[in-house]
Amino acid sequence: MGSLGEDDMHDIQPTTDPARPKSPLRAWFDIRGRGLGTLAFALNRLTAIGLTIYLFLHLVVLSQLLRGPEGWNSFVALARSPLFLALDVVLLFGVVYHMFNGIRVALVGMGVAHRQQRGLFYGLVGIGLVLFVVGAVLIFTK
């Protein structure tokens, strides 16, 4: 009575093993069920990847200046477009967050404010947020 027949085997769904590790890339960004430090670390990773991609794109765009005055004029027209300005705001967020979280990581790594990590994170991100908003306003008004 307690055994399953061969016809009943197709109704059983395989269970996922919670101890089974995720793929390295998915585990790298998975922040579910983790603390604020993991969220800060994952966001720091994302901003680092974004800033690295930006560096290469920046070099490609600057290589257009080798075309002379017409290259410069097309660059200035591109740099003043609304899409480019919006991307500048995204870049500013990445730089500001990565910088202030990096300061926090460095201070904690040196043993300074190890017990005040959470407060240090909120304080530095708060300062960064103010600078980000001021910078974003300046990007669109200048």
Burial class, 102, CB count within 10 angstroms (exposed 0-12 / middle 13-18 / buried 19+): middle
The domain spans of the chain are 36-141
Q: Hey, how many other C-beta atoms are within 10 angstroms of the C-beta on 25?
A: 8
More confident residue, 20 or 42: 42
Report how far residue 100's alpha carbon sits from residue 20's, in angstroms, rounded to the nearest whole number: 35
Whether 41 shows a pLDDT value over 80: the answer reads yes
Place of tokens 């994170």: 121
Whether 127 shows a pLDDT value over 90: the answer reads yes
Q: pTM for the full model?
A: 0.72
Whether 103 shows a pLDDT value over 80: the answer reads yes
Banded model confidence at residue 10, pLDDT cuts 50, 70, 90: very low
Single-letter amino acid code for the residue at 85: L
The reported pLDDT for the residue numbered 22 is 67
- Given this structure, which CATH class describes domain 36-141? mainly alpha
More confident residue, 15 or 89: 89
CB–CB of 102/44 below 8 Å? yes
Residue 136 is inside which H or E element, if any? Answer: helix 117-141
